[in-house]
Amino acid sequence: MKNLKIGVFENAQTNASGTATWRHPDSRRHLFDTLEYWRDLAAVCEDAKLDFLFLADAWGWSEIDGTRPPIATEETLDLPRLDPVVVASALLSTTTDLGLVMTGSALVEPPYAFARRMATLDQLSGGRIGWNIVTTGTADTAVKAFGMEMVAHDERYRMAEDFLEVVYKYWEGAWEPDALEKDKDGRFADPAKVHLVTHKGPFFRSEGYGNTARSPQGTPVLFQAGASPAGRRVGGRHGECMFIGSGSAEQLAGHTAAIRAEAVTAGRRADDVKVMSAFSCVIGATTSDAERRYQRILDAQRSEVTVASYAMFTGLDLSSYAPETPMTALSTELSQTQVARFAGRTVGDVLADWHTHGVGARPVVGTAEEIADEICALAEGADLDGFLLSPTVQPVSTTEFVESVLPILRARGVFRGEYAEGESLRERLTGASDPALPASHPAARFRH
């Protein structure tokens, strides 16, 4: 079996993944707006030698028929949040090896400024940064805040391709890796190795010199999570790591095969893309103890949150449809994945399902041994490279996982024990022999 990669899913906000479990007695997520929360969580991840901490993000919010439902505020479903780039920046000085991966929107960010911010993080972290490319799940509300017009679903992916070309040109082509000489008796940099970038694309234009020099990885490790056909195409062409939702081994195997096929269509090798599935679990001393603990998590959440939460991801108000309406009758310009994955089921089924686990799948509920068994079975059955642990109650879910499940995975030889010294996040996650993107990646053509 492959050596697994394991990251932790977080959101610089009180809730995650469309559920609202912040009232649970053990939850400390209401302290998401303190540096201590992030410092302590990052320390748990780094002490356990996890691969990275992932900070998801959204610029938009929940709206139903153009109005923000009061429950979204009462249960802090979507707002307030913190900027993940700034949170990651704060963690650079409290961590030394942990990867820091964050979402950045190709819909609303200006690419030149975004390229600089990510390069700065990559530089100061010594090459520990990853970027989850999103077209923004909450696009309908985010565009209003940015004074933009709505951009349709597949058009947003075309926009993302253009955005990628701009940032690649700056990350890969603006400054050659050995441009900086820093020679006090000579010169600081070699002008022959600093290049003017020009870009005239369908969505973005830019002409300039890189505001930052080349960072250790150049391009941060590229993550992508869109599961619609358009999303998978972009992931297959550009992604180095793809996040997929959770599900049965059979469902995940289908996703993994489709992503690898897209990579091959794009002229890359099937395993140039590492596939990581979201994974949630509730651990107990016995199976029935775990079931009791899971029920307590469900009880911590108000049921009214479900409609507002589903609307945030899809713009659809499920309360306005008869419960027997087939989900195939619905469509969205937001997350098509969150409609398509319920094909064959009804609106009533989805309301019940979403209440228990939001965008994720039902957590695996059991003893540490049972959870380790499930992780191994999923990895083998679905050809996965790793997991994105999506904790239900933070930080205790992460702590319990690293204390009880991780040692079992280590004993089985499927998760490594130590960090390799000086390794970049790219080398760690992809097995690359240096921190730069391989020559087979589309970004490499912008190098000099």
Ligand X SMILES: Cc1cc2nc3c(=O)[nH]c(=O)nc-3n(C[C@H](O)[C@H](O)[C@H](O)COP(=O)(O)O)c2cc1C
Strand extents, DSSP E, 16-51: none
Instruction: Confirm if 398 and 44 have CB atoms less than 8 A apart.
Output: yes
Q: Is 337 in the site for ligand X (CB under 6 A)?
A: yes
225 near ligand X, rule: CB under 6 A: yes
Is residue 137 a contact residue for ligand X (CB under 6 A)? yes
Among 245, 284, 315, 363, binds ligand X (CB under 6 A): 245
In angstroms, what is the minimal distance from the CB of 406 to ligand X? Answer: 20
DSSP at 433: S
Dist. CA 115–CA 400, nearest whole Å: 37
| DSSP E strands, 168-326 | 197-200, 205-208, 221-224, 241-244, 274-279, 281-283
Report if residue 391 touches ligand X, rule: CB under 6 A: no
- Of 18 and 216, which has the nearer Cβ to ligand X? 18
Q: CA 381 to CA 367: how far, in whole Å?
A: 21
- Contacts of ligand X in 162-221 (CB under 6 A): none
Q: How far apart are the first and last CA of the chain?
A: 39
Judge whether 365 and 282 are in contact, CB under 8 Å.
Answer: yes
Among 335, 392, 397, 430, binds ligand X (CB under 6 A): 335
* Omega of the bond leading into 69 within 30 degrees of 0 (cis): no
Answer positive or negative: Cα dihedral of 15, 387, 131, 91.
positive
Among 36-44, 241-249, 366-374, 394-402, the segment contacting ligand X (CB under 6 A): 241-249
Per rule CB under 6 A, is residue 141 in the interface with ligand X? Answer: no
Q: Which of residues 58-87 bind ligand X (CB under 6 A)?
A: 58
- Site for ligand X (CB under 6 A): how many residues? 23
Applying CB under 6 A, does 273 fall inside the site for ligand X? no
Q: Which residue has the tokens 């008796």?
A: 185
Identity of the residue, 305 or 334, whose beta carbon is nearer to ligand X in the bound complex: 334
> Is 227 a binder of ligand X (CB under 6 A)?
yes
- Per CB under 6 A, contacts with ligand X among 82-121 are 103
β 99-105/274-279 pair status? unpaired
Q: Which one of the spans 50-58, 177-185, 279-287, 424-432 is the region binding ligand X (CB under 6 A)?
A: 50-58
Near ligand X by CB under 6 A: residue from 388, 393, 425, 437 = 388
Alpha carbon 314 to its chain's center: 18
The token duo for 207 is 């002409």
Pick the stretch among 20-28, 243-251, 280-288, 365-373 that binds ligand X (CB under 6 A).
Answer: 243-251
268: helix, strand or coil:
coil
Q: Footprint of ligand X on this chain (CB under 6 A)?
A: 56-58, 103, 132, 134-137, 225-228, 230-231, 243-245, 278, 335-337, 388
